[in-house]
Structure 1
Amino acid sequence: MSLQTLLAFALVLGVVIVIHEGGHFLVAKAVGIYCKTFSIGFGPKLLKRRMGETEYAISAIPFGGYVKFAGEGAMEQVQDAGTGDSGSDLDSDGNPIPVHRYFSSKSTWQRMAVVVAGPVMNLVLALVLTTGVVMVQGVTVNPVTTVGEIEIGSPAEEAGLQVNDRFVAVADAEVDSWVGVLNAIVDAYDAQPVPVAIDLERSGQPLSLEITPRIDEEGRFEIGLAALQDTRVGKVKRDGPAWNAGLRRGDLIQSIDGAEVTTYSQIAGIVNASIDTPLDIVWLRDGIKQSASITPTAAEVPIDYKETRTVGRIYYEQYSEARQVSPVQAVSMGARATWGMVHQTAEFLVVLVSGGASGDTVSGPIRIAQFSGEMVRWGFDRLLLFMAMFSVNLFLLNLLPVPVLDGGHAVFILYEMIARRRPPE
């Protein structure tokens, strides 16, 4: 495992754990709980320093962390003592800590707030990361407005659209990206459910048509269009086969093994079927022809939650461009992205618990470290998005009603709220 991978893993794990435990810690301090220890990691303490009443530590086993509160589990003392009495739990100087500062002495609402603060902070972290990436990086769009495929019997076919038609405007508004084309059609029809005017260029000549989208039973719009995919290279993964062969963003691939290629899907099909088989690839960069032999490596691609298939990969993406958005749009997009992560993770957990997913699909520390290394090779923005996804995973996992997790503690406190008494030991 490379140093870069280890550093990326340490960053992901460290930030997510600090934010999670920081949530517990800050809320505990806010309600007056004595926090004895704040540790990143478990086991023997490698580094420690006392600041105020709390000892901050980095411990030997890095897969987690904890905040140690005064009087955890000391219910008998809480029940027997008044708020001014001192308990048996001692501070760093050997002095008794007042019982009213014990975790167990606080109200159910205060204890519930402390328990759920960790997972909630993981969710907040994911939102901040996704919003930040969108705000700084912008959103990626396909700059092509030319039709590449038309679905048979679709609204697009019924409107008379043809392959290679280029969209110029939708509802009298100019469009400059494929997502702009689709969004403009949907927005125009959503505002007024009548045929939408579209301005095209066909074989160099202007053409005006009308298209009427359909709405399926789930409320989704159906148009039946796909963009023309050219062969320009997008983001390239550092140290991958494409990168090592010299391919860079903006290169235009012309042929593979002497056969002309004109779309990204053509290239993907050839690469997928060519594991460990050298491919002679020719491309243009600034009008200059270049070539190299590139050998796709094997990669496991999930088919569903139980099965995967092995395909070839040279690790570059289809060309796209970044478009800047306003801060309000960035927050909205970040929230949608975070919700998508929550939904995806929750769906997987349901399938896993019901036996519909293989246990092999659950990533352990080594695989998480490998993912961290892979993401940083795609770019720092990808590492941040992976950190957001990992943080969402911890948000949901920690809310599971398992005794050792935050969700388990929350269940006991909820029982106390409803039953008006402590749960039996």
Structure 2
Amino acid sequence: MIGGVQTAVAAIVIFLLLVVFHEFGHFYVAKRVGIFVREFAVGFGPKLFSRRWGETVYSVRALPLGGFVNMAGEGPEDYGLESGKSIAVRLDGAGQVEAFGDPRAVGQADFVGRLVSGPSRDDYSLRIEGEDGTRRYVLGPGAVLHAEGGAIPLAPYDRQFMGKPVWARATTIFAGPLMNFVLAAVIFAVYFTVAGVPSGPDVAKVLPDSPAIRAGIQPGDHIAAVNGEPVNSWDQLVKTVQSRPDQRVVLDVVRGNQHLQVTVTPEIRGGVGVIGISPVLVHNPLASIGLGIKQTWDISVQIVQAFGRMITGTLAPEVAGPVGIVAMIGEQTREGLMNLLTLTALLSINLGIINLLPIPALDGSRLVFLLVEAVRGRPVDPQKESMVHLVGFALLMVIVVLVTYKDVTRLF
């Protein structure tokens, strides 16, 4: 029971961490390029808590398995403003509209009449017909529309997502996946700060019954070269040995004042060569940052290569849905915090890469639409683009259901 609670808590925390970092990337860049952000939400469903800072509402919602950033003009917006409809207007101290819409929802109003025209791309105002003729009211910077769907803060076209240049929109979209890679690098940096980083090609331990111990390598040995090629770091040593499985290699070893040559044949494990030694570790936060970035890059390259091999059929597809991921989180929770950190970093990298794939409803698809817009000089019809994303989202949900079914059958 306790293990199940730990798994559930760990899964919720990890999912929230991945999503919040992703959405914060969109949010931060949107703010920087001047897009009006209505809401930054953690979770889905009914609001448990919300507070407005500046022009944005920050909320925590009931279902802690996601989040979103609501940007003005990100998709086609239909405010239900129909000509001839009764509309009420409340003005601020500067004489601009601070609230308008259904007279019953606006409350105390400065003017009530029939709508002639609503805000447009080129005219951020209302034209309302009353008994004494038609009046024009300019919408203020914090104007709120009270409609059937609730209160909707509006923004002029130059503050909307679609009102920004292609580079600003592309940067805003790309920032989400980018933050997943940043999160992974931070997690790996923390991991290496705690666990330590290799100080160099120095041997701390030699595994029993390994090629290294059979060749006479001892703890404390410094490996200066492999087959006459100098090695200056543990990573360089590992890559050199891994590339020579089942091949005899000559190591130049420094042991105290002695200079030795040792011949060893790496065993094949996981498709690469290993000799069974571990490095001397030091706790260096600065080096950990660099190693965290490098680890993130190396794993990202490996995942992309694996995707390519799956597409070409040279690697069997291995896909896990929410149930499978929770099962993995449960396993790593039992193994300890460091293993859980590593899994979180791997999930974050996977999320970043998957979101960059040109699949409808994902960030990669939106970047493709922006590339098309940049090439042809005008945007794709927003209604058509929204339909593509909607269909893509529906297909993704079907895939998630199928993968989840596979995960459940595999577990039980």
State the secondary structure of the residue aligned to 1:97: coil
Indicate conservation of the 8 Å contact 1:198/1:210, yes or no: yes
State the secondary structure of the residue aligned to 1:185: strand
Indicate conservation of the 8 Å contact 1:416/1:423, yes or no: yes
Choose 404-413 or 321-330, whichever is displaced more. Answer: 321-330
Measure the CA separation in 2 of the matches of 1:376 and 1:387.
Answer: 11
Indicate conservation of the 8 Å contact 2:358/2:364, yes or no: yes
Q: Higher relative contact order by CA 8 Å / sep ≥ 6: 1 or 2?
A: 1
Q: What displacement does 1:114 show?
A: 0.6
Measure the CA separation in 1 of the matches of 2:334 and 2:278.
Answer: 18
Q: Identical aligned pairs, as a percentage?
A: 31
Report what 2:229 is aligned to. Answer: 189
Instruction: Return closer, same or farther for 1:366/1:95 CA change in 2, 3 Å cut-off.
Output: closer
Q: What displacement does 1:125 show?
A: 0.7
Indicate conservation of the 8 Å contact 1:37/1:68, yes or no: yes
Measure the CA separation in 1 of the matches of 2:153 and 2:124.
Answer: 17
Q: Which amino acid aligns with 1:41?
A: G
Measure the CA separation in 1 of the matches of 2:204 and 2:227.
Answer: 19
Indicate conservation of the 8 Å contact 2:197/2:281, yes or no: yes
Instruction: Return closer, same or farther for 1:422/1:363 CA change in 2, 3 Å cut-off.
Output: same
Measure the CA separation in 1 of the matches of 2:302 and 2:341.
Answer: 18
Instruction: Return closer, same or farther for 1:164/1:403 CA change in 2, 3 Å cut-off.
Output: closer
Measure the CA separation in 2 of the matches of 1:146 and 1:380.
Answer: 25
Q: What displacement does 1:370 show?
A: 1.7
Q: What displacement does 1:340 show?
A: 2.4
Report what 1:382 is aligned to. Answer: 339
Q: Equivalent of 1:126, from 184, 198, 218?
A: 184
Measure the CA separation in 2 of the matches of 1:199 and 1:147.
Answer: 21
State the secondary structure of the residue aligned to 1:6: helix
Measure the CA separation in 2 of the matches of 1:60 and 1:93.
Answer: 20
Measure the CA separation in 2 of the matches of 1:325 and 1:138.
Answer: 5
Measure the CA separation in 2 of the matches of 1:93 and 1:405.
Answer: 28
Report what 1:234 is aligned to. Answer: none
Choose 99-108 or 373-382, whichever is displaced more. Answer: 373-382
Indicate conservation of the 8 Å contact 2:226/2:252, yes or no: no
Measure the CA separation in 2 of the matches of 1:122 and 1:55.
Answer: 23
Q: What displacement does 1:14 show?
A: 0.9
Matches within 5 A, 1:152-301: 163=214, 165-167=216-218, 176=220, 180-181=222-223, 184-186=224-226, 189-190=229-230, 197-198=252-253, 209-210=260-261, 224-225=265-266
Q: What displacement does 1:325 show?
A: 4.0
Choose 414-423 or 325-334, whichever is displaced more. Answer: 325-334
Q: Which amino acid aligns with 1:81?
A: D
Aligned-pair RMSD on alpha carbons? Answer: 3.9
Q: Which amino acid aligns with 1:109?
A: W
Instruction: Return closer, same or farther for 1:58/1:367 CA change in 2, 3 Å cut-off.
Output: farther
Measure the CA separation in 1 of the matches of 2:311 and 2:119.
Answer: 38
Choose 371-380 or 21-30, whichever is displaced more. Answer: 371-380
Q: What displacement does 1:16 show?
A: 0.8
CA deviation vs aligned residue, 1:293-352 (integer Å, no higher than 9, x gap): xxxxxxxxx99xxxxxxxxxxxxxx99787224334212321221122212221232233
Indicate conservation of the 8 Å contact 1:165/1:200, yes or no: no
Q: Which amino acid aligns with 2:191?
A: V
Indicate conservation of the 8 Å contact 2:11/2:329, yes or no: yes
Aligned length: 298
Measure the CA separation in 1 of the matches of 2:347 and 2:361.
Answer: 20
Q: Which amino acid aligns with 1:117?
A: A
Q: What displacement does 1:208 show?
A: 5.6
TM-score for the superposition, normalised by structure 1:
0.60
Indicate conservation of the 8 Å contact 2:21/2:180, yes or no: yes
State the secondary structure of the residue aligned to 1:353: helix
Measure the CA separation in 1 of the matches of 2:334 and 2:266.
Answer: 33
| Structure 1 stretches lacking a partner, 5+ long | 151-155, 157-161, 168-174, 213-222, 227-264, 266-301, 304-317
Instruction: Return closer, same or farther for 1:165/1:321 CA change in 2, 3 Å cut-off.
Output: closer
Instruction: Return closer, same or farther for 1:187/1:403 CA change in 2, 3 Å cut-off.
Output: same
Q: Which amino acid aligns with 2:67?
A: G
State the secondary structure of the residue aligned to 2:57: strand
CA deviation vs aligned residue, 1:6-55 (integer Å, no higher than 9, x gap): 1111111111111000000111111111111222334x224230323323
Measure the CA separation in 2 of the matches of 1:187 and 1:36.
Answer: 62
State the secondary structure of the residue aligned to 2:43: strand
Greater helix content: 2
Q: What displacement does 1:412 show?
A: 0.7
Report what 2:300 is aligned to. Answer: 342
Q: Which amino acid aligns with 1:410?
A: L
Indicate conservation of the 8 Å contact 1:12/1:387, yes or no: yes
Instruction: Return closer, same or farther for 1:200/1:45 CA change in 2, 3 Å cut-off.
Output: same
| Structure 2 stretches lacking a partner, 5+ long | 79-117, 126-137, 233-249, 385-412
Instruction: Return closer, same or farther for 1:107/1:197 CA change in 2, 3 Å cut-off.
Output: closer
Report what 2:162 is aligned to. Answer: 104
CA deviation vs aligned residue, 1:342-383 (integer Å, no higher than 9, x gap): 122212322333445555x21111121121122122221221
